[in-house]
Amino acid sequence: MPSLLWPLSFLSGFPTRTIRLSFQWTVWLSLSCLVALLSGCGKSDTTNPSDAGADAKLPLAVPTETDPQAPSSLTPLPPTSGQPAQGPDAAVGGQAMSSPQADVPAHNVPAQAPAMLPLAEPESVIDAPDSKRRQLRADLSPQELRDFLADADRTMQAIANGTAGIQDPKEAFAEMQRISKLKLEASRRLRNMPAADAEARRDGARGELQSLSHLAALGDLKAALELEKLAEANLESDDPRLVTDSRLVLIGFAIESLQNGAEDAPKRMVQLVHDLANSPASSEIPAMMVMGQARQTLTQFGHDAEAKAIRGTIIDLYADSTDPQIAKMAAQLAGSVQFDEIDRLLRLAIEGGSVDPTDWKAAAEALINESPDLQTVQYLAGAALQFEGLGHQELAEATYRELSDRFPDANSATGQEALIALDARKSRLDAIGQPFAPDLKAVDGSALSLADYRGKIVLMPLWATGFPESLQLIPHLQQLVDQDPDKLAIVGVNLDPTGAPVDEFVRHNQFTFPNLRAESSNTAEVANEVAAKLGMVSMPFLVVLDQEGRIASIDYTIGQLQKTLDRLQQ
């Protein structure tokens, strides 16, 4: 299915931006980033709730049909001077590309790599003079151990943000493991040190929880088992902050248990959230985020009663916050009873089930009646695209009718958003059957004419270097062409703005097919004429030209494309 990105920069003169079509926040929490939210990976001095909410801004998403991910062979260009080498996904996870996150504020990290663990002295190495095997000195004082933990957090944050000078993902992964183990040793030593005061020992206890979380997220099964046991034991601690942190970790384990089919997981999640709500630190951003993740997971797995209970907790704790950012985030994390129902129907359709258009229309109307806001419009527009991609035209048409009938005011934000979706839909329908012969050159400036491909079916992906989703179908298109090169061809269309290193990107990734260059503008009334004419509002976006050069179909998935090819090759 298409990645539900709304690249309005291609359709209007608005500043470049990306809106992810979803009604609610989706919290992507691994055990590692869970504790990083608490205080690890660089301690934050943030005390203003609004600032904390901004730093905790999460990506939006709705369930999509499984489609192959962007190929690892497609890689971003090396950074230019002064830029971070890679983002956290590429540095630690080894992913080839990551989606742009323009709305997510950058972490406040030094431009240059920090000193790597200055207290790991060379004279204490074991077996070999290898800096990667340095050990903590045995005579470190409590304050030196605390300083070490802070240095370790800053170093890991720099590695994750690509500012530590490590460009090899394997090297970054190994360094994160090494630092996490040293942090674990330092934390345990500090926690148990007789000379340390109570505050220092509390820092050690929290550092131990964080370190095990880092290691668990890096694939250390033993650390994961230790982490769960430690979090359970910490519930008896007299340190309320440690107890809260441990509950957050245990909620993460309960979420994983639910996903693995544990029958007692829903009840466990509700109890943990209830206990968390009654703790002194329940008002903090991480607690709210984890509650939201728990509610969403319960909803996804059909545990509506438990999800409703956690939703009520979120609303009771945060909805009336004096900080508007927290109140807004609470509304998004709490979701909506009506949204849960319509999202259940959407997931049913995506999974191949039958959805009655009458039931869908009733659910859409109920959602609009409850929340006639911009997020509802965006969600419904995204659902309509999902239905188009699945071939459920009746459901798609019903959704577009609701958008047209319920949001008619073109001067309102909701009306404008609905109008964009409706206009794009009309453009896609109008394009079918029309010849496509834009006056464009190739990305290297040479001449490139689609007339040269008459007699072949042309597969035309529209793509941009900043949107990895736009490239994820390309390996599969290439496989189809390789199987039948006399009948099929690929001609891409690049949509990057003027000045983007598109030709270099193509050469760097060794594209084997030609690409037209349709430059986008941030100042023109219509940012990209080609994309607007085709009604492009999602990625991947594939235009299929028949043997006569006419637009035969606009497809989002390989499944759709195969049906189109079967029809054209009859």
Res 464: pLDDT:
93
d(C-alpha 299, C-alpha 229), whole Å: 27
| Domain segments of the chain as ranges | 342-431, 450-568
**Beta bridge partner(s), residue 555:** 542
Would you list the DSSP string of 139-175?
A: T--HHHHHHHHHHHHHHHHHHHTT-SS---HHHHHHH
SS3 state of residue 75: coil
Q: How many CB atoms lie within 10 A of CB 347?
A: 17
pLDDT at residue 516 above 70? Answer: yes
Mean pLDDT of 114-143: 54
pLDDT confidence bin for 422, thresholds 50/70/90: very high
Q: Where are the beta strands (DSSP E) in 85-146?
A: none
Res 129: pLDDT:
41
Which span out of 40-44, 97-101, 157-161, 210-214 was modeled with the highest average pLDDT? Answer: 210-214
**Beta bridge partner(s), residue 545:** 458, 551
Better pLDDT: 68 or 261: 261
Which span out of 148-157, 309-318, 462-471, 541-550 was modeled with the highest average pLDDT? Answer: 541-550
> In this predicted model, what pLDDT tens digit does every residue of 17-40 receive, in sequence order?
222 222 222 222 333 333 333 334
Architecture of domain 450-568: 3-Layer(aba) Sandwich (3.40)
d(C-alpha 429, C-alpha 422), whole Å: 11
- Is the distance from CB of 396 to CB of 404 less than 8 angstroms? no
Q: How many CB atoms lie within 10 A of CB 538?
A: 24
pLDDT confidence bin for 559, thresholds 50/70/90: confident
Segment among 257-266, 338-347, 395-404, 478-487 with least mean pLDDT: 338-347
Mean pLDDT of the chain: 77
Mean pLDDT of 333-359: 87
d(C-alpha 320, C-alpha 303), whole Å: 26
Nearest Cα neighbor of 536 from 441, 437, 424, 374 is 424
pLDDT at residue 90 above 80? Answer: no
Residue in this structure with the two tokens 């050990």, named with its chain if needed: 135
User: pTM here?
Assistant: 0.53
d(C-alpha 359, C-alpha 347), whole Å: 14
- Is the distance from CB of 491 to CB of 460 less than 8 angstroms? yes
Mean pLDDT of 241-246: 92
Task: Look up residue 200 and give its DSSP letter.
Answer: H
pLDDT confidence bin for 114, thresholds 50/70/90: very low
Report the share of the chain in percent with pLDDT over 70. Answer: 76
> In this predicted model, what pLDDT tens digit does every residue of 50-83 receive, in sequence order?
333 333 222 222 223 333 333 334 444 444 333 3
- The sign one gets for the Cα dihedral 44, 50, 51, 55 is positive
d(C-alpha 17, C-alpha 103), whole Å: 8
In the chain the first and final C-alpha atoms are separated, in Å, by: 25
Res 370: pLDDT:
80
pLDDT confidence bin for 282, thresholds 50/70/90: low
Per-residue H/E/C for 246-270: HHHHHHHHHHHHHHCCCCCHHHHHH
pLDDT confidence bin for 376, thresholds 50/70/90: confident
pLDDT confidence bin for 119, thresholds 50/70/90: very low
Long-range contacts of residues 406-415, Cβ cutoff 8 Å, at least 24 apart: 406/365, 406/368, 406/372, 407/372, 407/377, 413/374, 414/372, 414/373, 414/374, 414/376, 414/377
Mean pLDDT of 245-254: 94
Residue in this structure with the two tokens 């079509």, named with its chain if needed: 21
Q: Are strands 551-555 and 488-490 parallel, antiparallel or unpaired?
A: unpaired
Question: And the tokens for 239?
Answer: 């340190």
Res 393: pLDDT:
93
Question: And the tokens for 26?
Answer: 């989706």
pLDDT at residue 130 above 70? Answer: no
B/e letters for 354-373, b = 16+ CB within 10 Å, e = fewer, are ebeeeebeebbebbbeebee
Mean pLDDT of 338-346: 85
Q: How many CB atoms lie within 10 A of CB 476?
A: 17
pLDDT at residue 410 above 80? Answer: yes
> In this predicted model, what pLDDT tens digit does every residue of 199-235 receive, in sequence order?
999 999 999 999 999 999 888 999 999 999 999 999 9
Q: What would you report as the CA-atom Rg of the chain, rounded to the nearest whole angstrom?
A: 26
Nearest Cα neighbor of 533 from 518, 546, 522 is 518
